[in-house]
Structure 1
Amino acid sequence: MGELDSTLGAVLIAGLLAAVLHGLTILQTFLYTQTSGSDGPLMRCLVLFLWSVDTLHTALISHTLYFYLVTNFGHIGVLAAPTWSIIVAIYLTSLTGIIVRIFLAYRLFLLCGRYRPRLRVALPAIVMIPTMITFLTGLIFASKAFIVRLFARLDTFSVYLYITFSAAALADTLIAVSLCVLLYRSRTGIEQTDSLLTTLIVMTINTGLLTSIFALLCLITYSIWPLKFIYVGMYFSLNKLYVNSLLGSLNARKILQAKQERSTHDHRRSVRSTRFEVVSEPASYLSPAESITMSGVAQKESFASTSNTLHQNHVPDQT
C-alpha cells in the first residue's frame, strides 16, 4: 500500500490539484477578455496561446491518470515506465516557462527605464541565462526519456533534470527579487503612489516566489525519491503556476487602475476642501488672493507629480 501511495496516490493528488489550477486559468482568462480593451492583438494572442497550451497540458494529465488508474488498473509493472503523455507534458512546461519568463524579463527592461541604460540591458540578460538553461535541459531530458522509457534508467541522465529544476528556481527567484527591488526603489514618498507600489511588490512575491518554491520542491523530491511519482506531481503544477502568474499580473492592472482612480478622486476632493478652508481663513501674512493662488498652485503641482509617478511605475500594458 505504501508503494501505491507514493506512486499512483501522488499522481492522483497532482491531477486533482492541476484541475483546480486549470479552473483558475480559465477564470483568469475570462477576466482578461473583459478587461483587455487597451491591449494589442499580440498580447491577446499570447494569452490565448498560453490558455490553449495549459488546456492541452490538462488533457495530458487526464490521460496519465486514466492510463495508470483505469486502463492498467492492478498492473503494478506498468509503473516502471512513463507514459508518453508525461513526457509530452515536460515539453509543454518548458515552452510555457520560457514564454512567461521572457515576458517578465521584458517588464524588467521597462521598469529600469531609460535613465539606467546599463541595468536595463544587464538585468534582463542575467535573467535570460538560467531561463535558456532550464528550457534547453528540459527539452533534452524529455527527448532522452522518450528513448529510454523506463523510470529506473532516468538516473543515467538525471543531471539534466537537476539542472532544469535548479535553473528554474534561480530564474524565478531572480525575476521576483529584481521586480521587488525596482518597484521599491521607485517609491516617491507620495502616499497614493507608494500604496500602489506596495501592492505590486506583494503580488510579485506571491506569484514569483511560488513558482520558485515548486521548482525547489521538484528538485528535492526527485533527489530523495527518484523512483517515486512525488516529483512528477509537483512538476504537473508548474505549468499552471506559470500561466496564472502571467494572467494574474495582467488582470491586476484593472484593480490597480481602479485604486488609482479612487485615490485621484479623493485627492481632488481634498484639493477642493483645502481651497475652501484657505478662502475662509487666509493666513495672516498673505492676502486672500495670494492665499488662494499659492494653495491652488501647490495642489496642482502635487496632483501632477502623483499622476506622472503613477504613470511611470504602473504595470506597463503590452501591445
Structure 2
Amino acid sequence: MAEVPTASNVTLISGPMLIGVFFNMILYGILIVQTYHYYLTYKGDVRWIRYLVLYLFVIETVNTGCDMAMMFQTLINNFGKVDTTKFFPTLLAAEPITIVAISTPIQLFFAYRIRLLSKSSWLAGIIAFFATVSLGGGAWSTVRIVEIKVFARKPELHLPALVWFLSAVVSDVMITVVFVITLNKRRTGFIVTDDAISKIIRMTVQTGLLTSLFAIGDVIFFMTLPASFSDIYYS
C-alpha cells in the first residue's frame, strides 16, 4: 500500500515553493506595468534594446506560467498522492533554465554598458564570463533535475546549483561595484549633472545589492534545506 504523505511533509516541501510563486506573481504584475511604461515612454530607444525588453517580458511570462502549473500539479493533481513528497514537480526543471535565460542577457547588457562607460574591455569580459558560467550552471541544473527526479536525491544538485548561483553573485556584485566607481569618476562639479549621477548610483546600489542578496540567499537556503527535504521524505 502506497504511503500517504502527511500534512507536515506537504507543508515543508510545497509551502516554500508556493510562497515563492506568490512573490513571483506579485513581481510579475509589477513587470507588466514597467514594460508598458517603458514602451510608452522610451519610444526612441534603439530597436535591439526594445526587442531585448520584449524578450525578457516573454521569458518572464513563460517562467510565471511554469510556476503556476508546477504548483497546480503539486497541490491539485497530486493531492493526497505519495508523488507529492517523493518526486520533483515536472516543471521544476524549467525553473533554472528560464531564470538564467532572463538573468544572463541582463548581465551581458550591463557588461556592454560598463564597457562603454569605463572603456575597459577586461572588466566587461570578466562580468560576461561569470554571466555565461551562470547560464551553463542553470542549464546543468535543469538537466540534473530531469535525471534525479526525487527529493531524496536533492543534495546531488549542490554542484550545478552552486556553479549557477555563485557565478551569478559574482557577476551581480561586480556590476554594482564597477558601475558605482565608474559613475563616481564622471562627476563634473555641476550640481545638475552630479545630482543625476547620484540618483543613478543610488538606483544601481539598491537594485544591484538587492539582486546580490537574493542570490546569496539562494545559495544559503539551497545548501541548508536539501538535507531536511530528504529527512522529511524518509521520516
**TM-score when normalising by structure 2:** 0.89
Aligned counterpart, 2:207: 207
Call closer, same or farther: CA 1:204–1:80 in 2, change over 3 Å: same
Question: How many Å separate the matches in 2 of 1:48 and 1:89?
Answer: 20
Displacement of 1:128 after TM fit? 1.6
Aligned counterpart, 2:152: 152
Matched residue SS, 2:226: coil
* Runs of 4+ residues over 6 Å off in structure 1: none
Aligned counterpart, 1:221: 221
Matched residue SS, 1:172: helix
Work out the number of aligned pairs and report it. Answer: 223
Q: Does 1:72 align with 2:78?
A: yes
Q: Select 1:31's aligned residue among 23, 37, 61.
A: 37
Instruction: List per-residue Cα deviations over 1:243-301 (Å, max 9, x = no partner).
Output: xxxxxxxxxxxxxxxxxxxxxxxxxxxxxxxxxxxxxxxxxxxxxxxxxxxxxxxxxxx
Counterpart amino acid of 2:28?
Answer: H
Q: Is the 8 A contact 2:148 2:154 kept in 1?
A: yes
Q: Does 1:99 align with 2:99?
A: no
Counterpart amino acid of 1:42?
Answer: W
Matched residue SS, 1:186: coil
Q: Select 1:53's aligned residue among 30, 46, 59.
A: 59
Aligned counterpart, 2:115: 109
Aligned counterpart, 1:163: 163
Of all paired residues, the percent bearing the same amino acid is: 26
Where do 5+ consecutive residues of structure 1 fail to align?
A: 114-119, 230-319
Q: Which has the larger radius of gyration?
A: 1
**TM-score when normalising by structure 1:** 0.67
CA RMSD of aligned residues (A): 1.6
Displacement of 1:36 after TM fit? 1.9
Instruction: List per-residue Cα deviations over 1:80-117 (Å, max 9, x = no partner).
Output: 2212211112111111111000000011011114xxxx
Displacement of 1:188 after TM fit? 1.5
Aligned counterpart, 2:23: 17
Counterpart amino acid of 1:198?
Answer: S
Counterpart amino acid of 2:178?
Answer: S
Displacement of 1:152 after TM fit? 2.0
- After TM superposition, the structure 1 = structure 2 runs for residues 129-278 of structure 1, keeping only pairs within 5 Å, are 129-227=129-227
Question: How many Å separate the matches in 2 of 1:28 and 1:227?
Answer: 39
Matched residue SS, 1:42: helix
Higher RCO (CA-CA < 8 Å; seq separation 6+): 1
Q: Is the 8 A contact 1:64 1:85 kept in 2?
A: yes
Displacement of 1:202 after TM fit? 0.7
Call closer, same or farther: CA 1:213–1:224 in 2, change over 3 Å: same
Q: Is the 8 A contact 1:137 1:161 kept in 2?
A: yes
Instruction: List per-residue Cα deviations over 1:191-226 (Å, max 9, x = no partner).
Output: 111100110001001111111111111100111111
Q: Is the 8 A contact 1:7 1:228 kept in 2?
A: no
Counterpart amino acid of 1:105?
Answer: A
Q: Does 1:6 align with 2:16?
A: no
Question: How many Å separate the matches in 2 of 1:97 and 1:109?
Answer: 18
Q: Is the 8 A contact 2:134 2:167 kept in 1?
A: yes
Question: How many Å separate the matches in 2 of 1:123 and 1:222?
Answer: 29
Q: Does 1:63 align with 2:61?
A: no
Displacement of 1:175 after TM fit? 0.4
Counterpart amino acid of 1:148?
Answer: I
